[in-house]
Amino acid sequence: MFGKLDWSAIPFDQPIPLIAAAAIGVILAAVLGWITVKGHWPYLWNEWITSVDHKRIGVMYVMLGVVMLVRGFSDVMLMRTHQAAAFGASQGYLPPEHYNQIFSAHGTIMIFFGSMPFIIGLMNFVVPLQLGVRDVAFPTLNSVSFWLTASGALLTNVSLVIGEFARTGWLPYAPLSETSYSPGVGVDYYLWALQIAGVGTLMSGVNLVTTILKMRAPGMGYLRMPMFCWTALGSNMLIVAAFPILTATLAMLTLDRYLGFHFFTNEAGGNPMMFMNLIWAWGHPEVYILVLPAFGIFSEVFSTFSSKPLFGYRSMVLATLFIVVVSFTVWLHHFFTMGAGGDVNAFFGISTSVIAVGTGVKVFNWLFTMYGGRVRFDTPMLWALAFVLYFVVGGMTGVLLAVPPADFLLHNSMFLVAHFHNVIVGGVIFGAMAGYEYWFPKAFGFRLDEGWGKLAFWLTVVGTVVVFGAFYIVGLEGMTRRLQHIDNLAWYDWIMVALAGTLLIAGGVLAQIMQLVVSIRHRDRLRDETGDPWDGRSLEWITPSPPPVFNFPVLPDVHGEEAYWEIKQRAIEQQQLSEVPDYQPIEMPRNSPTGVITAFFCTFVGFALIWHIWWLAALGLVGAYVTFVVFAWRDEVEFEIPAEEVERIDRARRESRQVILERGAPA
């Protein structure tokens, strides 16, 4: 009846996951109870859960990302405290079968369910606004994408209490991940959670590529798009090209595990090395899927807070596309130590360092954006500056690892761990934080508290320097990664330093949460009345904060690279707003529960397949398919917002715009 599932799946012998799960359960029940008592369910269902508005979906993506980043950080606390207590005779408090799950879950969650939703959420929210359009190309598909990602995140977290998570690292290298060496359900959780979330990501990629290629405001040619839209285009093209590789690779491993195939097994002609090749053929582009949008965010931030257009815009576009192409030719640098020979290693070493040319160009262009500017040190700009200082170091150690003879010493060491955290935290997470601080007022209509934001910034930046500085050094001392027990006492001091740094980051996380709480409490004082709190330059700042569901009452006419800046300067020069347009009724897509219902069924499909509950899997598949058919046969697709309503909303916006006119004469 329930396949492999029985009471032994619950880890009664391990108090940590049980207590953690109980705490999460209590919090969850409290939140749900509060929503029920307050009667918020209709609002949540109509305005958020079934919403197909790209802004709402973007915000939900970011919320998922934030929650999962905190979840991934709790793994960090476990790992750091455990390693600090696992030297020599002391064994720490986590047995290998638990510790190995934690570092695997940490990587999986941070990449797939923390960083990815955060970055995709920002793209979802910002790209249509910057392009001057009303929604993405396929609004309902967008909702399906989000809920499938959430479904994958849910399955990953369910593994905490029901069964186990993968104990193989965040990329389940064969043959360790094959049934012979990992007979438990951990790898199956990994496979199905990622397959389901991966489908969502792929559809989101298709959606945003289509949006950027086919739906731009009149006059917005490719070379007038804001830099963030360009990097979003690059990132989503990479998603479309790379995620099918992941899907296929995981499907092959699934066939090995479920139906006794031999793609990656030791026996019967399987080839475990093929798994490494395939997973990194996806995995390396994935790094750029994450970091390219972050580059876009920094480009926006540098330009806005330097009160200057982005320096070398065309050069930046070229560098972005250069990175997109070259990112597919470097995957072998993840296993120089496989012994492929001098020619192969040299080729991939050189192609890897060539990527640094594109990144280097970007760094110099950001520098010259500040040159001759008026730099304001608001929190987003602080993150951007820290990013540059951080990323050049991470990039440098990356190129160092791309030199095969150096990699022979540093591969899989803590130096490598320091390197990729240096670029992913310094690039993606700092970028996400900059974007969060920068666009928060746009999304919610009030700014975030600067004091708490700056405190969070300094704690996090100093903390990460301490942690990853210690990792670099202990890596040079020869310490390797993923150690559940450490018998080399020479490494003790640096692991303690890293623990201290982790506490600083924990302080940063708390300050970041406090910032949100304090800002919500003082939202009236922090209210963004104008819709343009940072003196912005691209089209999202022409809308009120938060923007109405249709974004723009009439689609803006674009005449240059900085669409909004030019409109704003013209208005300031003439001391009057543009003419009142002729308002027309606007058709917007209807809300649809398709996404959440599909994901509901897919969660059961995933869970059932993990536990071999075949009838439930079949039932779930039928459910998901029926949901799709019902959606496909819908009659009413859109609803109309009458012209008067549009006019009313826009009149309020125009009144608030007067403030900007009076704010100052043109420079």
Partner 1 sequence: MPVAMRSRFSRSGMRVCLAAGMVLVLSACSGGIMDPAGPVAAGERTIMLDALAIMLAIVLPTMAATVAFAWWYRAGNKRATYRPDFVHSGRIELIVWSIPLLTIMFLGGVIWVGSHRLDPARPLESRVRPLEVQVVSLDWKWLFIYPQQGVASVNRLIIPAGVPVHFELTSASVLNTFFVHQLGSQIYTMNGMRSQLNLQADRPGRYYGQSAHFSGDGFSDMNFWTMAVPVGQFNNWAAAARGNGPVLSAANYRQFARQSQGVKPFTFRAVQPGLFDAVVRQQLPPAPGPETGRGGHTMTSPGDAH
Q: How far is CA 337 from CA 271, 273, 342, in A?
A: 17, 12, 11
- Asked whether position 360 contacts partner 1 by CB under 8 A, the answer is yes
CA dist., res. 360 & res. 423, Å (int): 14
Binding residue for partner 1 (CB under 8 A) from 210, 307, 329, 656? 307
Cβ 616 to partner 1 shortest distance, Å: 15
CA dist., res. 93 & res. 83, Å (int): 9
Binding residue for partner 1 (CB under 8 A) from 3, 507, 546, 623? 3
Angle between the N-to-C axes of helices 379-401 and 414-423, in degrees from 0 to 180, rounded to the nearest 10: 140
For the record, the structure tokens of 45 come out as 């269902």
Cβ 496 to partner 1 shortest distance, Å: 14
Question: Under rule CB under 8 A, how many of the chain's residues touch partner 1?
Answer: 108
- Asked whether position 399 contacts partner 1 by CB under 8 A, the answer is yes
- Asked whether position 311 contacts partner 1 by CB under 8 A, the answer is yes
CA-nearest of 66, 78, 68, 76 to 17 is 78
Q: Where are any strands of DSSP class E within 386-441?
A: none
- Asked whether position 403 contacts partner 1 by CB under 8 A, the answer is yes
Residue 586 burial by Cβ neighbours in a 10 Å radius (0-12, 13-18, 19+): buried
Cβ 78 to partner 1 shortest distance, Å: 16
- Asked whether position 364 contacts partner 1 by CB under 8 A, the answer is yes
The interface mask with partner 1, positions 185-224, x = CB under 8 A, is xx--------------------------------------
**What residues numbered 366-395 form the site for partner 1, per CB under 8 A?**
367-368, 370-377, 385, 388-389, 392-393, 395
CA dist., res. 185 & res. 611, Å (int): 7
Binding residue for partner 1 (CB under 8 A) from 408, 615, 625, 639? 408
For partner 1, the closer CB: 450 or 647: 450
Preceding omega of 175 cis (within 30 degrees of 0) = yes
For partner 1, the closer CB: 527 or 570: 570
- Asked whether position 18 contacts partner 1 by CB under 8 A, the answer is no
For partner 1, the closer CB: 18 or 215: 18
- Asked whether position 345 contacts partner 1 by CB under 8 A, the answer is yes
Binding residue for partner 1 (CB under 8 A) from 38, 341, 582, 633? 341
- Asked whether position 181 contacts partner 1 by CB under 8 A, the answer is yes
Confirm if 104 and 481 have CB atoms less than 8 A apart. no
**What residues numbered 613-632 form the site for partner 1, per CB under 8 A?**
none
Cβ 324 to partner 1 shortest distance, Å: 17
For partner 1, the closer CB: 373 or 593: 373
Cβ 375 to partner 1 shortest distance, Å: 5
Q: Letter for the amino acid at 172?
A: P
- Asked whether position 81 contacts partner 1 by CB under 8 A, the answer is no
The interface mask with partner 1, positions 269-288, x = CB under 8 A, is ---xx---------------
Distance of CA 604 to the CA centre of its chain: 25
Cβ 82 to partner 1 shortest distance, Å: 11
Cβ 348 to partner 1 shortest distance, Å: 9
Confirm if 529 and 659 have CB atoms less than 8 A apart. yes
Cβ 438 to partner 1 shortest distance, Å: 17
For partner 1, the closer CB: 202 or 660: 660
Q: How far is CA 101 from CA 97, 164, 485, 515, in A?
A: 7, 7, 15, 32
**What residues numbered 480-519 form the site for partner 1, per CB under 8 A?**
480-488, 490
**What residues numbered 443-482 form the site for partner 1, per CB under 8 A?**
469, 473-474, 476-478, 480-482
Confirm if 359 and 384 have CB atoms less than 8 A apart. no
Residue 139 burial by Cβ neighbours in a 10 Å radius (0-12, 13-18, 19+): buried
- Asked whether position 427 contacts partner 1 by CB under 8 A, the answer is no
CA dist., res. 340 & res. 331, Å (int): 13
- Asked whether position 428 contacts partner 1 by CB under 8 A, the answer is no
- Asked whether position 312 contacts partner 1 by CB under 8 A, the answer is yes
For the record, the structure tokens of 293 come out as 């949008």
3-state secondary structure of 640: strand
Binding residue for partner 1 (CB under 8 A) from 29, 409, 580, 626? 409
For the record, the structure tokens of 583 come out as 């308002």
**Count of residues making up the chain:** 667
Cβ 663 to partner 1 shortest distance, Å: 15
> Which residues are CB-contacts of 114 (< 8 A; sequence separation ≥ 6)?
65, 68, 69, 71, 72
CA dist., res. 660 & res. 653, Å (int): 11
For the record, the structure tokens of 490 come out as 């020479």
Cβ 304 to partner 1 shortest distance, Å: 12
- Asked whether position 523 contacts partner 1 by CB under 8 A, the answer is no
3-state secondary structure of 587: strand
